Structure 1
Amino acid sequence: MTFQGGGPLDTSSVSGGGGGGGGMGRIALGGGAGLILTIVALLFGINPGSITGGTGTGSGVSSQDAAELDAHIRSCTIEKANTDDVCRIVATVNSVNKVWSEQMPGYTEPKTTIFSGSVSTGCGAASSATGPFYCPADETAYFDPSFFATLRQMGGSDGPLAQEYVVAHEYGHHVENLTGVLAKGQRMGSQGPMSGSVRIELQADCLAGVWAYHADKGPDAMLEPLTQEQIDSVIQTAKAIGDDTIQGAGSNPEGWTHGSAQQRSRWFTIGYESGDQRQCDTFATNDL
């Protein structure tokens, strides 16, 4: 278990979307943990779908259309969030919004769309192959739960906190959008070890760590006290989606978009150990 307590979840900012197939469209900038899959696939002339596949999860969401997903979302409770991938996303949204509303003056909640197959966004069309991403144009985070199965295949953890880290990372991009960091990073280039893209992604990892620090604190905390084993599952996942891990032997830093395995795990740890958003300024240092 990760979430404690019981009762319904706030689903007011979460909706179902997508359904069916669909090709790749224009991809959102500032995409998160899974977006690197599509970038690498396109660089090597591979169909992104051949990497990510179309498999569903234990939640059985791979063939659900928007209406079915909406009904699924509305049925979510805290208890279900401990066993159901869709409800785990919803519960994490509740927790992340709670933490950032307390930690960041002027925080406004983004929207979240849980989709299956393909989805239309303010940043263009996307498919399951895109992985989780945040679109600043419509201030919405998008998740296809089938990505969690792909994440396990890549060597990431199948633990619940690892999945919650993916959600918190995308919400980190929303925080960056509110502070202006997202736009700043986009002006600094999309590839290279010191690029704006890498700085954006590492900061989102750090902000996910800040969320984890606060999420189990206080009398109204949604998460049970986190264990070192759970934190280790996040570190495992962060390393599995590092640029060098995915690209393998001979990885060229000039093509990086998200940062190395060591960098991603390091910046999550900085956020988690400090609990301080100010420690996440990846634009103030070249020691990434």
Structure 2
Amino acid sequence: MRLRGVRRSRNVEDRRGAGGGGKASFGGVALLLVLAIGYFAGVDVTPLLDGATQQSDAGREPTAEEERAAEFSAQVLATTEDVWGRIFEEQLGRSYTPPVLVLFLGQTASPCGGASGATGPFYCPVDRKAYLDTEFFATLSQQLGARGDFAAAYVIAHEVAHHVQNELGILAQVNEARQAVGEVQANALTVRLELQADCFAGVWATHVDGLLEPGDIEEALNAARMIGDDHLQRRAGRVPQPHSFTHGTSEQRERWFARGYEAGDPGACDSFAADRL
């Protein structure tokens, strides 16, 4: 992704070095599998981390790689502001208020609960902020097999897409619907919510086409495959359990991102009306 000369968003809250860090220490493979499930499969891995040896990140200076990740994130966030600002104005006749991106190391607090390496990147509708541990990009590339800068950009665009859903009132509607049904039905609604966010991320990708490099879209599609519920559950040594899916299969996530990219229109992303996901 060509970001040279792209502005950095001012909607970034940098909490790195603010303390409160703490990461569980596992053996290499075990930790990777635990984090993989926590990042994208919608599984709470906190109990797995409880009682493990803690190594605090509080007060340490970000590494050069983490600093590059922070700059990259701020620039990608700026592109989402430009894209969704135009779409809201031209297609919806309203203004777009962008989210704040919170950067942290280890863990931090949010109104939606604790943010840590176990939870992975997420959007909190209560304070309208997206949370990202800057060490995450290394995990995404080196451990989850989703390599390339556009894979990382896709993750940011996906979290911003949840903010777009919040702006449009979709998050509130889905949350109300989930509270009225059982766990399996609630998970199914969550899958549709996540696939719509993937589609919105694809819409964003269309509108930053001038910044794309050869292979960027393939990087995003590969990332979508690597973080499907079925793939992550297999990687963790589990038989995929569709009733527990909260983000969608690899094939679904890839297809909905591609759908948004090919259409370039958020109107094509109504996953809730789709007969086939």
TM category (shorter chain) comes to 0.7 to 0.9
Indicate yes or no: 2:182 matched with 1:180: no
Change (3 A) 1:154 1:200: farther
> Does the CA-based 8 Å contact 1:238-1:261 persist in structure 2?
yes
String of CA shifts for 1:220-277, please: whole Å, max 9, x gaps: xxx2x442x1111111111111000011162010000000000000000001111000
- TM-score under structure 2 length normalisation: 0.79
Select which of 63, 82, 103 maps to 2:87: 103
Instruction: Give how far 1:124 is off.
Output: 2.4
> Does the CA-based 8 Å contact 1:235-1:265 persist in structure 2?
yes
Indicate yes or no: 2:235 matched with 1:235: no
Q: Distance in 1 between matches of 2:145 and 2:69?
A: 16
String of CA shifts for 1:124-174, please: whole Å, max 9, x gaps: 222222100000000001111211222224433221111000000000000
Q: Distance in 1 between matches of 2:131 and 2:140?
A: 16
Question: Which stretch shows the higher mean deviation, 249-258 or 162-171?
Answer: 249-258
Q: Distance in 2 between matches of 1:239 and 1:266?
A: 10
Select which of 41, 44, 52 maps to 2:45: 41
Change (3 A) 1:64 1:211: farther
> Does the CA-based 8 Å contact 1:38-1:48 persist in structure 2?
no
Aligned match of 1:124: 113
Q: Distance in 2 between matches of 1:46 and 1:99?
A: 39
Indicate yes or no: 2:203 matched with 1:210: yes
Q: Distance in 2 between matches of 1:41 and 1:138?
A: 23
Question: Which stretch shows the higher mean deviation, 178-187 or 158-167?
Answer: 178-187
> Does the CA-based 8 Å contact 2:141-2:148 persist in structure 1?
no
Aligned match of 2:33: none
Q: Distance in 1 between matches of 2:143 and 2:275?
A: 29
Indicate yes or no: 2:139 matched with 1:150: yes
Q: Distance in 1 between matches of 2:72 and 2:58?
A: 17
Aligned match of 2:34: none
Q: Distance in 2 between matches of 1:48 and 1:149?
A: 23
Structure that is richer in helix per residue: 2
Unpaired runs of 5+ in structure 1? 25-32, 55-61, 73-79, 218-222
Question: Which stretch shows the higher mean deviation, 242-251 or 119-128?
Answer: 119-128
> Does the CA-based 8 Å contact 1:89-1:167 persist in structure 2?
yes
Aligned match of 2:13: 15
Instruction: Give how far 1:182 is off.
Output: 1.1
Q: Distance in 2 between matches of 1:209 and 1:120?
A: 30
Q: Distance in 2 between matches of 1:48 and 1:233?
A: 34
Change (3 A) 1:253 1:107: same
Change (3 A) 1:179 1:10: same
SS in 2 for 1:182: helix
Change (3 A) 1:194 1:173: same
SS in 1 for 2:239: coil
Select which of 157, 164, 172 maps to 1:168: 157
Unpaired runs of 5+ in structure 2? 25-36, 89-93
- Give matches, 1:250-269, under 5 Å: 250-269=239-258
Question: Which stretch shows the higher mean deviation, 97-106 or 119-128?
Answer: 119-128
Q: Distance in 1 between matches of 2:108 and 2:152?
A: 21
Q: Percent identity?
A: 39
Amino acid at match of 1:13: N
> Does the CA-based 8 Å contact 2:41-2:247 persist in structure 1?
no
Q: Distance in 2 between matches of 1:273 and 1:64?
A: 44
Amino acid at match of 2:13: S
Amino acid at match of 2:3: F
Aligned match of 2:70: 86
SS in 2 for 1:258: coil
Aligned match of 2:232: 246
Q: Distance in 2 between matches of 1:153 and 1:10?
A: 26
How many aligned residue pairs are there?
249
